[in-house]
């Protein structure tokens, strides 16, 4: 329905890392100043906040769910939940970790909901078969140098083979560059749990992407 609303960026699009290179304390006052404006009903204030995090939220959702079609609806849902929760938030804490928590919970719920739906409709048999066939095709061509687009597709597919909580953990680490502590805070788990999820997620990805890792740059 919203196809085309979200657009893929050219391959050299810079990831939003710079925003997260500042420390928590440095970024927190800015966010909370904006939140105050939102709570005071200032027009445009909420979109300032949305603009600040929309790309991160959209990509966490995309990487976690593996398709672009639902990114906009789910992103809207994240920001709606954020908006509704603003009056109850503690200004001592970082807003971004709250946004990640909402996004992560939504993704995990959505992944589980879809899994149940797929199992019920037995579609998963077809899907699994298709993705395995795609993987298999590459196993037989290890010397093939993969194009960027193909590789991006492969990594997104591989991510979909991880359990929901592992998937969101590795996306927050590798894409958002969050520290173990920040991930633990966003997902409400311990730092050792983050470490263990990351370890297992990466080892699984390594196994799934073996042909790509050995075949190309």
Partner 1 sequence: MKHIPKQELHGFHDGRLSAEREREIVLHISSCNACRMESEDLARIRSWILSAGDVRPHSSFAGDAETRAYDTEQLEGQWLGIEKVAARTVLVLSVLVAALTAFSMIASPPASASVDAVLNDDRQDSTVVQFMVEHEISRDEALVAAVTKQE
Which residues of this protein are in contact with partner 1, per CB under 8 A? 5-11, 13, 15, 43-44, 46-48, 50-51, 54-55, 58-59, 62-63, 68, 71-72, 75-76, 79-80, 83-84, 148, 151-152, 154-156, 159, 170-171, 173-175, 180, 195, 198-199, 202-203, 205-206, 209, 213, 217
Spatial distance between the Cα atoms of 130 and 77, rounded to a whole number of angstroms: 30
Through-space distance between the first and last CA atoms of the chain, rounded to whole angstroms:
37
Of 62 and 98, the one with the shorter C-beta distance to partner 1 is 62
Q: Minimum distance from CB of 71 to partner 1 (Å)?
A: 6
Query: How far is the CA of 215 from the CAs of 93, 132, 138, 140, in angstroms?
Result: 45, 17, 9, 10
Residue 118 and residue 129 in contact, taking contact as beta carbons nearer than 8 Å: no
Of 85 and 121, the one with the shorter C-beta distance to partner 1 is 85
Q: Minimum distance from CB of 23 to partner 1 (Å)?
A: 15
Of 9 and 126, the one with the shorter C-beta distance to partner 1 is 9
Neighbours of 63 (CB within 10 A): 21
Backbone CA torsion sign across 130, 217, 209, 178: negative
Please name every residue paired with 3 in a beta bridge, in sequence order, or none if there are none. 6
Of 71 and 116, the one with the shorter C-beta distance to partner 1 is 71
Q: Minimum distance from CB of 197 to partner 1 (Å)?
A: 11
Q: Minimum distance from CB of 125 to partner 1 (Å)?
A: 26
Neighbours of 107 (CB within 10 A): 24
Spatial distance between the Cα atoms of 47 and 57, rounded to a whole number of angstroms: 14
Q: Minimum distance from CB of 15 to partner 1 (Å)?
A: 5
Of 33 and 121, the one with the shorter C-beta distance to partner 1 is 33
Q: Minimum distance from CB of 127 to partner 1 (Å)?
A: 19
Note the residue count of the chain.
217
Of 120 and 143, the one with the shorter C-beta distance to partner 1 is 143
């Amino acid at each position: 329905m919203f196809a085309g609303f979200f657009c893929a960026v050219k391959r050299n699009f810079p990831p939003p890392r710079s925003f997260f290179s500042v420390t928590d304390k440095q970024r927190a006052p800015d966010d909370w100043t904006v939140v105050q404006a939102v709570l005071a009903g200032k027009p445009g204030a909420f979109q300032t906040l949305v603009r600040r995090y929309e790309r991160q939220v959209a990509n966490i959702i995309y990487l976690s769910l593996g398709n672009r079609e639902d990114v906009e609806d789910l992103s809207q849902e994240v920001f709606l939940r954020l908006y509704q929760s603003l009056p109850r938030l503690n200004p001592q804490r970082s807003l971004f970790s709250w946004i990640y928590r909402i996004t992560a919970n939504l993704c995990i719920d959505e992944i589980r909901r879809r899994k149940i739906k797929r199992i019920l409709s037995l579609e998963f048999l077809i899907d699994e078969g298709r993705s395995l066939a795609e993987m298999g095709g590459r196993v037989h061509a290890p010397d093939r140098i993969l194009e960027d687009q193909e590789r991006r597709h492969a990594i997104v597919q591989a991510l979909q083979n991880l359990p929901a909580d592992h998937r969101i953990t590795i996306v927050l680490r590798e894409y958002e560059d969050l520290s173990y502590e920040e991930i633990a805070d966003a997902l409400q788990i311990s730092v050792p749990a983050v470490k263990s999820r990351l370890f297992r997620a990466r080892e699984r990805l390594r196994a799934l992407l073996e042909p790509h890792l050995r075949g190309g740059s």
